[in-house]
A and B are shown apart, each in its own frame.
Chain A
Amino acid sequence: MKEKPKVYALTTCPYCKRTKRFLEDHKIAYDCTDVDLLDDAKQDEVLDEIEKLTGKRSFPVVIIGKEIIVGHDEDKLRKALKL
């Protein structure tokens, strides 16, 4: 895989936790931003980016190459990661 998957998550969201666990269980290295822990300015910037990409503020968001997966969806993750 060229680029590491990018995950946008909330620390309190159990679906985000499941997505992170899924990637870890499959030994997939990924970059993660816990959006709720960012300072206000950075948070606004990241939320704008998420809204531009997905059209909403819903978590988790996983970016794998050109694929953007919103919500915890193991089938989509498997497909995008070719597992």
Chain B
Amino acid sequence: MNGRQLERVYCPVCQAKFRFVEGWKEGSVVICPICGQKLRMKRSSDGWVGDRPEKGTEKEIRERVDEYARLHGYVFKDMKEELIQGLLGKNRRFGDFYCPCRMEHVGEYMCPCKPTRGGDVDRDGKCYCGLFWKKA
């Protein structure tokens, strides 16, 4: 068996690992299929990890939420821009893009937050803050 097929890549945003795809190499830019984050592949002593090439920028969070919505077929509503501004505010004040409507500034509430990745949108029709919506 080709050992590479079992390799996984760690995403620092959703703090999960996803499957390595044949052909990826050091420096490849890929999208995390779990959270939509753009990552640059890097080999570490613990295996493949993704770097955030535009960490903390407006471009990063806009691309991430758009990718996440695209991956899951979710849509945005009229609050999108205000929520993006809230995410930017969280990053300015608390160091990363945590959910703008939550008190806690911990990894699991980095957007898209863990409850969202766990199926809140499909179950409730929207995520906690109303950024991602299930298509009607």
Smallest CB separation, A39 vs chain B (Å): 14
CA distance A17 to B101 in the complex (A): 11
CA distance A11 to B87 in the complex (A): 11
Residues of B within 8 Å of A14, CB to CB, are 79, 82-83, 85-86, 100
Count of chain B residues near A, Cβ 8 A: 15
CA distance A59 to B101 in the complex (A): 7
Residues of A within 8 Å of B90, CB to CB, are 12
CA distance A36 to B89 in the complex (A): 11
CA distance A13 to B101 in the complex (A): 5
Counting CB contacts under 8 A, is B93 at the interface? Answer: yes
Counting CB contacts under 8 A, is A10 at the interface? Answer: yes
CA distance A57 to B79 in the complex (A): 21
Counting CB contacts under 8 A, is B103 at the interface? Answer: yes
Contact A12 B93 (CB under 8 A): yes
Interface residues of B in 18-51 (CB under 8 A from A): none
Counting CB contacts under 8 A, is A81 at the interface? Answer: no
Smallest CB separation, A13 vs chain B (Å): 5
Q: Determine the interface band of chain A, counting residues with CB < 8 A from chain B.
A: 10 to 19
Smallest CB separation, A31 vs chain B (Å): 19
Q: Which residue in chain A gives the minimum CB-CB distance to B83?
A: A14
Q: Annotate A22-61 by CB proximity to B: 1 below 8 A, 0 otherwise.
A: 0000000000000110000001000100000000011100
Smallest CB separation, B98 vs chain A (Å): 8
Q: Which residue in chain B gives the minimum CB-CB distance to A46?
A: B103
Residues of A within 8 Å of B100, CB to CB, are 10, 12-14
CA distance A13 to B79 in the complex (A): 11
Residues of A within 8 Å of B93, CB to CB, are 11-12, 36
Contact B89 A12 (CB under 8 A): yes
Instruction: Please list the residues of chain B having a beta carbon within 8 angstroms of any beta carbon in chain A.
Output: 79, 82-83, 85-87, 89-90, 93-94, 100-103, 129
Instruction: Please list the residues of chain A having a beta carbon within 8 angstroms of any beta carbon in chain B.
Output: 10-15, 17, 35-36, 43, 47, 57-59
Listed by A's residue number, 16 A-B pairs whose Cβ atoms lie within 8 Å are A10-B100, A10-B103, A11-B93, A12-B86, A12-B89, A12-B100, A12-B101, A14-B83, A14-B86, A14-B100, A35-B103, A36-B93, A43-B103, A57-B103, A58-B101, A59-B101
